Structure 1
Amino acid sequence: MNTEIFLKRKQRLAAALLSLSGLNTALAEPELTATEQLAPVLLSGNYINAVGSSDAASQGSVSAKLLQSRPTLRPAEVLEFVPGVIITQHSGDGKANQYFLRGFNLDHGTDFATYVAGMPVNMPTHAHGHGYSDLNWLIPELVSRIDYKKGPYYAEEGDFSSAGAAHIGLFDRLDKGVLAATLGQFGYRRGLLAKSLELQGGRLLYAVEAARNDGPWENPEDFRRFNSVLRYSIANEQGRSAITAMAYSADWNASDQLPLRAVQSGLIGRFGTVDPSDGGRTARYSLSFEHERSDAEGGFKLNAYAIRSRLNLFSNFSYFLDKPVDLDPTAWHGDQFEQAEQRQVYGLNSSRHWNGELAGLESGTRLGLQLRHDRLAPVGLYASVARERVATTQESRTRQTTLGLYAETSLQWTPWLRSVAGLRADHFDFDVNSSIAANSGKNSANIVSPKLSLVFGPWSKTEYFLNYGHGFHSNDARGVTATVTAKEGLPAASVDALVRSKGAELGLRSEIIPGLQSSLALWQLRLDSELVFVGDAGDTEPSRASRRQGLEWNNHYIAASWLLLDADISWSRARFTDADPAGPYVPGAISKVLSLGATVTDLGPWFGHFQLRYMGPRALIEDNSQRSNATTLAYARIGYKFGRDSRLTLDLFNLFNRQASDIDYFYASRLKGEAAEGVADRHFHPVEPRSLRLTWNSGF
């Protein structure tokens, strides 16, 4: 493909993305000749992964049309449209989900950067876990697209993005209003009202959501969520601007992982609990601004945001291990702890892009600046009894400021060779004022990350990619300044503020078979250290250097005008590279992920979807002597349209009613009557049994 055709494709892709975002701009979509039409930019409005649309085989986009076709048990499951991503849960629905990708147990978000409407979701120095990504405030019906990237090859991606990144866009307008009501088993209820209207030359979109769910748990979850969005946007031939206000609150009873021995002995049921007082409450409020402008030379983007959030989370994973004696036989006393924080986040992202020539070659250059400031007042770990705070383990007032600068240049060397070279520099400042005086202090750190991608072709509707880059993840600010352990007060070495990663990928994307988009990627990622803040203990534990490598094969096929088929297969291998008697296996690293889907669209008044998801067994400890079982789940949707504006949808989750685990751990805990040292055992969170949800959706 020559440079002119490549640039035309980029313009068509940009126009398509704007269209999917709900913008009726006059952005030109240049005509392609018959010989230039190697593949459609959009596959029936579902996939935006055509040849010529990305810089890596593992990069792509998903449209709203596809997002709306698949049922989701929880809001964060929209990220499972990113090939290879698995979303699970090990506690109540108000707590951030567990994320898995490319041989990572990402815990609640570390090493996978997520953004919504330009706002970062990952929270550093978080009360529960560094990089905590709570997406329970997301309203799936408002998502216009998801742009995803994997690996540290992109200059604009900074902290937490070593495994990948996802940018979730929101609609500026809805074609029609949405009035939806859902009823389901286990006390599930949800209502949604959303509409957009013309106002003062722009568009005002509003949405209000309320939901409640008890779940299958013997101790009802009593999850209550309230969500609202107000978004005003203006678009014209030059670009668009949008300002968005969001508000969210939730509270719940936790359904934490269970000790296997307690279930097998009949002490508790599969959906029971050991500590019924576990749970939490959270809230999030945000105001953000987005601006995009195009001109003859290129374009400009600006995003600014302010976020305020709070969390009080009560958990008990070891039961009576730390406190083996009941102080009062009539009340619950055990190892429960509270993790709490109040946070303010302020930030902006800005970039400028120029199209032109460099040394006679077609080029594109982008410069960007990213600034973020987090204020936690306070963030702490406390001992608690039945959700009552009884002692302070550690409490800190923390300030963390991040500045990122990046530059990236794309050059079309020949009609079949394009390069993208980038350089990123990040600076971090940490300021911790701890209740433990020895753990207070200030620190700063810098890191530079080079990036390079080569794109070859296309030949026979197939292009090839070679990607390499450095990335990083930060560490919890409290670990950077700590000199003693929070619980025992023993000497402790502070940890490095920033940890480097190095990744490489060899891939291809092909459309040689009509209607099929297929990509293949062979990748490797090295981390200097897997630094993890253990919120349950209040300490930072640096683990060993590691290497992950794997293969991904993703396929999207239009079998008929009404039938879409998906097949995504991922294999990975995760090992520590430093020798240690404990063993080389990285706990929780899934080696095999399989996702198969079939979507029926517009078959008369009928529509539907079937999704099969498999995540393979994994090591639970370093020597691989304890392993989890595989988990296979199926979701299904059957829907019927009543005219143009109303439809009835039946969603079925865990269709075959499999008894499997959402997540497994292996560690020591103590139940009443057991030895003081506790029992090393597998702890699991069961997948929810088969359940049905019926939704009536009326447009207006």
Structure 2
Amino acid sequence: MLPTRATIIAGCITALFQTQAAADEAAPAIVQVTGHYNNAVGTSDAASQGSITADLIAARPAMRTAELLEFVPGMIVTQHSGDGKASQYFLRGFNLDHGTDFATFVDGMPVNMRTHAHGQGYTDLNFLIPELVQRIDYRKGPYFADEGDFASAGAAHIRIADKLPQGLATAVVGESGYRRGLLADSIGMGAGTLLVGAEVLANDGPWDLPQRVRKYNGVLRYSQGTHGDGFSITGMAFSNRWQSTDQIPLRAVQSGRIGRFGNIDPTDGGDTSRYSLSYAQRVRTETGLLEFDAYALRSTLQLVSNFTYYLDNPADGDQHAQRERRNMAGANIAQSWRADIGGIEMHNKAGLQTRYDQLSPVAIYEMSGAIRTGTVREDRVRESSAGVYVENTAQWQPWLRSMAGLRYDAYRFNVAVDLAANSGAARAHLVSPKLSLVFGPWQRTEYFVNFGKGFHSNDARGTTQTRLPDGSATDPVTPLVATRGSEIGLRSEIIPGLQSSLALWRLNIDSELLFIGDAGETEATRPSRRRGIEWNNHYVASSWLLFDLDVAASRARYADTSPDGDRIPGALNRALSFGATVRGLGPWSGSFQLRHFGPRPLLEDNSIQSASTTLAYLRASYQFSKATQVALDIFNLFDKKASDIDYYYRSRLPGEPAEGVDDIHFHPVERRSFRVTLAHHF
């Protein structure tokens, strides 16, 4: 049964009336899941919060960089286009598109791009080098005062290492032209450490049209002290170019017109770049911690797509380009301090987060054969925001802790476009209260009750738009869309070696963001309600064997009534992942990973659904010496013919009726493939 206010209140009352004798029990030793997780009892403020360390990341194969986020329990990462593009994310009953409603940060620098050319909250993680990731801290739900825009479903904070234990040279070869090289090392310099990393990647993939991914990454970081008391300066550079095989119509495959890995428009593709400079400092004193982050970023993107083929323009086709050039800067500062009031131990935190985005331009162009033929719209956008928050954590009893927070966000949007009716400025602000209660631990188990209000921002262009491209009138969208969430849960280590958590959650959104297939963009739509349950388990069976099992089920519906129905297209109703990691068996180690995500409604009335997808990855690794090892990775182990993504919309192929054909459009998972990695430490 899914949570209601009554069950949440009942859970609070039940926990409050636990006997004092249980509260006075001696605290048992915490089970250490060494080198993989930091999810022990007493380390979090919600059942759906946790951390993943570099050892587990290194032990599991990943087909794409963005699959790092699949370490977040319940998260599914797929792709519906070329690998140079941001991935598709699913979590807590959301098709998050390319990142909306899930906030991602790298060392305090936001990754989600607001007012993005291809989708609000666009999260491209291809600039990361996985071997340099030290830790991923994740949270779910809008319960934390220091989480703002896009964090309603959750947030992930990715931390890059300041120093590597050894230098690393890696070479990877695989099928379909996959090649990857990595060189990284840490060098002592003065009182600090210089970290250097460089990655080159090429990949054609199994597609009839080789995707010709050409990716280049570089990281340069100087640091002194530690992450908790020190500073770092980091420069990152990223460039990527590719050809795309986007989602294809099912009817074209069934008729034999193209194969599963074929395409309709062979001129789709893209190129992107990202250059950033960031500074992070932590100053720890006897009474508190000062945290400061500042960053500046320049990025570009041109994405050429054709989703409907010849529906709107039978002569030249419907291809379009989404283009943007962005400058972004921001700073975060927070002060934490301890206090003791009336014998009650307290931890306080106050912070300020600022961000400024300048886009010149952010545009949509008409294309034919990747050649520009016209302009749909070309905007210049300035978007600024400031978020102020305070948070208090109080230890009322040895068995009762509270966390109360308040957040205030203010936004300003300024849009300039040739069409005066769509130019202008808009302002918005929002107050978001938060409250969490933690009970226990009793018998190695603690209990959580969480409430919170959050939000996502809408595309700045929509906040001033009064005319559509066809000239018809429209109303501006709500700039900041409120969300409200609640959760009850528990975390337990009652079984030695097992860290287990259970969470029942709800989330209401005032306006859903929905992917529109025939336009290739997101649109603000109806309010929605979601609820679900998550069960996560990490078990150390022995010193050489680790198991993971994560199960998530959810129910997503529009909150209002409509003749079209109440289902949310693309909303995931279940996700399951299972992993086994073996290490220390002489020179051998390995891992197995299975993920399953269930069917999704493709229309509001649920008359069309996608199929389920189940995939398995396998890694076997052999250590030749302390310095050198080789690994074999197998992706799609059982060679399943399934979809990474499915949409249902109208398109037109040559020779079809002028009004087009409604059909499922899908992007297939890649066939079974092999990669061999040779890694040498020096």
Q: TM-score range by the shorter chain?
A: over 0.9
Query: Quick one: distance in 2 between partners of 1:35 and 1:209?
Result: 50
Could you list the per-position Cα deviations for residues 30-62 of structure 1 after superposition, in whole angstroms to 9, with x for gaps in the alignment? xxxx9545314x412211000000000000000
**Cα deviation per residue 1:388-425 (whole Å; 9 max; x = unaligned)?**
11111000000000100000000001110000000000
Identify which of 143, 148, 154 aligns with 1:153. Answer: 143
1:397 aligns with 2:387: no
8 A Cα contact 2:415 2:460, kept in partner:
yes
Once the two structures are superposed, the pairs formed by residues 65-214 of structure 1 within 5 Å of their partners are: 65-214=55-204
Counterpart AA for 1:316:
N
Matched, 1:250 2:240: yes
Match for residue 688 of structure 1? 670
Give the match for residue 446 of structure 1. 429
Q: CA deviation at 1:541?
A: 3.4
Alpha carbons 2:118, 2:520 under 8 Å: kept: no
Does residue 490 of structure 1 match 2:472?
yes
CA contact (8 A) 1:127 1:535 kept: no
- Alpha-carbon spacing, 1:310–1:587, altered in 2? closer, same or farther (3 Å): same
Distance across 2 between alignment mates of 1:38 and 1:448? 41
Q: Contact 1:381–1:538 at 8 Å: present in 2 too?
A: no
**1:220 equivalent in structure 2:** 210
Q: What SS class does the counterpart of residue 536 from structure 2 fall into?
A: strand
Task: Tell me what 1:7 maps to.
Answer: none
User: Which residue is 1:308 aligned to?
Assistant: 298
Work out whether residues 97 and 515 of structure 2, in 8 Å CA contact, stay in contact via their aligned partners in 1.
no
CA offset at residue 118 of structure 1? 1.2
The aligned counterpart of 2:361 is 378
- Describe how 1:386-535 pairs up with structure 2 within 5 A: 386-485=369-468, 487-532=469-514
Q: How far apart in 2 are the matches of 1:299 and 1:386?
A: 56
CA pair 505-190 structure 1, distance change in 2 beyond 3 A:
same
Alpha-carbon distance, 1:537 to partner: 4.0
Conserved 8 A contact 1:350-1:368: yes
Of 44, 47, 55, the residue aligned with 2:34 is: 44
Distance 2:70 2:101 in 1: 16
Find the aligned partners of 1:248 and 1:534 in 2 and give their Cα distance.
Answer: 29
Residue type of the alignment partner of 2:108:
G
Q: Whole-Å Cα distance in 2 between the matches of residues 86 and 453 of structure 1?
A: 27
Amino acid paired to 1:38: A
Tell me how far apart the structure 1 counterparts of residues 88 and 429 of structure 2 sit (CA, whole Å): 29
Instruction: Provide the secondary structure at the position in 2 that maps to 1:574.
Output: strand
Deviation at 1:359, TM superposition (A): 3.2
Corresponding letter in the other structure for 1:556: H
Report the 3-state secondary structure (helix = DSSP H, G, I; strand = E; otherwise coil) of the residue aligned with 1:438: helix
Three-state SS of the structure 1 residue aligned to 2:307 is coil
Alpha-carbon distance in structure 2 between the residues aligned to 1:309 and 1:554: 37
Cα shift readout 1:476-520 (whole Å, capped 9, x = no counterpart): 0000000000x2011111111011000000000000000000000
Aligned residues: 658
- The answer on whether the counterparts of 1:339 and 1:535 sit within 8 Å (CA) in structure 2 is no
Answer yes or no: is the 8 Å Cα contact 2:504–2:533 preserved in 1: yes
Q: 1:624 Cα shift?
A: 0.3
The letter of the residue matching 1:252 is W
Contact 2:127 2:217 in 1 (8 A): yes
- Cα contact 1:130–1:532 (8 A) shared by 2: no
User: Per-residue deviation at 1:615?
Assistant: 0.2
Distance across 1 between alignment mates of 2:185 and 2:26:
42
Q: 2:346 pairs with 363, 370, 375, which one?
A: 363
Q: Which residue of 2 aligns with 1:699?
A: 681
Unaligned residue ranges in structure 2 (runs of 5+): 1-24
Residues of 1 paired with 2:678 and 2:522: CA distance?
Answer: 48
Moved over 3 A (4+): 34-37, 531-541
Matched position secondary structure for 2:317: coil
Residues 648/205 of structure 1: CA separation in 2 closer, same or farther (3 Å cut): same
Identity across the alignment (%): 58
Provide closer, same or farther for how the CA distance between residues 499 and 639 of structure 1 changes in structure 2, counting only shifts above 3 A.
same
Per the alignment, in what secondary structure is the counterpart of residue 68 of structure 1? helix
Distance 1:576 1:91 in 2: 28
Residue 635 (1) aligns with residue 617 (2): yes
The root-mean-square deviation of aligned C-alpha atoms, in Å, is: 1.3
Structure 2: which amino acid aligns with 1:669?
S
**CA 539–284 in structure 1, closer or farther in 2 if over 3 Å, else same:** closer
Q: Which residue of structure 1 lines up, in the alignment, with residue 44 of structure 2?
A: 54
**Paired residue for 1:670?**
652
Letter of the 1:39 partner, please give it. Answer: I
CA 1:536–1:674: 2 relative to 1, 3 Å: closer
Which residue number in structure 2 is paired with residue 21 of structure 1? none
Q: Which letter maps to 1:372?
A: R
CA distance in 1, matches of 2:656, 2:550: 45
SS in 2 for 1:156: coil
Deviation at residue 207 of structure 1 after TM alignment: 0.5
Q: CA deviation at 1:534?
A: 5.6
Question: Does structure 2 retain, via aligned residues, the 8 Å contact 1:225–1:249?
Answer: yes
In the alignment, is residue 620 of structure 1 matched against residue 611 of structure 2?
A: no
SS of 2:488 mapped into structure 1: strand
Tell me the residue number matched to 2:591.
609
The residue identity in structure 2 corresponding to 1:278 is D
Residue 6 of structure 2 is matched in structure 1 by none
**1:8 aligned partner:** none
The Cα offsets for residues 57-96 of structure 1, whole Å up to 9 and x where unpaired, read as 0000001111111000000000000000000000000000
SS of the equivalent of 1:46 reads coil
- More deviation, 464-473/381-390: 381-390
Q: Residue 290 of structure 1 aligns to which amino acid in structure 2?
A: A
Letter in 1 for 2:220: L
The SS at the match of 1:634 is strand
Structure 1 residue 233 displacement after superposition? 0.3
Normalising by structure 1, we get a TM-score of 0.93
Q: Residue 430 of structure 1 aligns to which amino acid in structure 2? A: F
Q: Deviations over 1:532-589 (max 9, x none)?
A: 5869749873311110000000000001100000000000000001000000101111
Q: Deviations over 1:185-225 (max 9, x none)?
A: 00000000000010011000000100000000001000100
**Following TM superposition, by how much is the alpha carbon of 1:293 offset from its aligned partner in structure 2, in angstroms?**
1.3
| 1:599–1:608 Cα contact (<8 Å) kept | yes
2:574 alignment counterpart:
592
Mapped partners of 1:182, 1:435: distance in 2: 49
After superposing the two structures, state which structure 1 stretch, 600-609 or 403-412, moved more.
Answer: 600-609
Which of 632, 639, 651 is residue 657 of structure 1 equivalent to? 639
Does structure 2 retain, via aligned residues, the 8 Å contact 1:62–1:81?
yes
Distance 1:550 1:238, change over 3 A: closer
Provide the C-alpha distance between the structure 2 equivalents of 1:542 and 1:182, rounded to a whole number of angstroms.
Answer: 42
- Whether the 8 Å contact between 1:646 and 1:698 is mirrored in structure 2 is yes
1:162–1:501 contact (8 Å) kept in structure 2: yes
Report the equivalent of 1:6.
Answer: none
CA distance in 1, matches of 2:95, 2:173: 33
* Contact 1:130 1:533 (8 Å CA) reproduced: no
In the TM superposition, residue 309 of structure 1 has moved relative to its aligned partner by 0.2
1:222-241 aligned at under 5 Å gives the runs: 222-235=212-225, 239-241=229-231
Q: 2:211 & 2:589 partners in 1: Cα distance? A: 32
Instruction: Give structure 1 stretches of 5+ with no counterpart.
Output: 1-33, 327-332
Residues 518 and 650 of structure 2 are in contact (CA less than 8 Å); yes or no, is this contact kept in structure 1? no
- Write the mapping of 1:236-315 to structure 2, written as runs, cut at 5 A: 239-315=229-305
One-letter code of the match for 1:315? S
Q: 1:476 to 1:54 in 2, by over 3 A?
A: same
In structure 1, what is the equivalent of residue 312 of structure 2?
322
